Amino acid sequence: MTKIAVYPGSFDPITMGHVDIINRIAPFYDQVIVLVAQSSQKQSLFTAEERKALIEQSLPHTKNVKVDIFGGLTVDYMKKANAQVIVRGLRAVVDFEYEMTMANMNKKLAPEIETLLVFASPEYYYISSRGVKEIAVNGGALKDLVPEIVISALEKKYKKKE
Ligand code: ADP
């Protein structure tokens, strides 16, 4: 059986916390699919295509990782892709309740699929896409928080908006 994990999220934009999770789980699977959520409910700064391109450019050396975009339920994508495991990252306690609800909801929808929660590394646990955008809009330093390519993308985005 080909072991496939899906790491779904908004990735608006990808941060070093996300990159860390991807690099840590990739050795355990034949393939990891980073799934960019194209949500109709959530407003995003970057389009799904832009978010996908930024993820791809942030992971140039990880061979068994691919990036895809999906607008529906994660479990429906998983069935189509023959994937078995949903990976999510866990930072502080505040993430726990949301992740537990999602995991149980997905278990109800697709009992054969497991959710794997991976603890954020201590050096990245405080990083969030939302925090990064807040720093970027106010011109703060983004070094070590996001990949270099994301720093330029954020600078371009906010320059255009001014
Ligand atoms: P979502 O809107 O689906 O929560 P995000 O892009 O914010 O999407 O996050 C995707 C996943 O990555 C979530 O499981 C989240 O908890 C996790 N994550 C976000 N930031 C970090 C981080 N710094 N370290 C580890 N995991 C993280």
Contact 128, 15 (CB under 8 A): yes
Class of domain 4-161: alpha beta
pTM of the model: 0.95
Q: Is 129 in the pocket of ligand 1 (CB under 6 A)?
A: yes
Per-residue pLDDT of 126-145, as tens digits, reads 999 999 999 999 999 999 99
Which residue's C-alpha comes closest to atom 27 of ligand 1?
89
Residues at the binding site are 10-11, 18, 42, 74, 88-91, 99, 124-130
Show me where the domains of the chain are located: 4-161
Q: 107-113: long-range contacts at Cβ-Cβ below 8 A with a sequence spacing of 24 or more?
A: 109/73, 109/75, 110/75, 110/78, 110/79, 112/84, 113/75, 113/78, 113/83, 113/84, 113/85, 113/86
Per-residue pLDDT of 80-95, as tens digits, reads 999 999 999 999 888 9
Q: Is 10 in the pocket of ligand 1 (CB under 6 A)?
A: yes
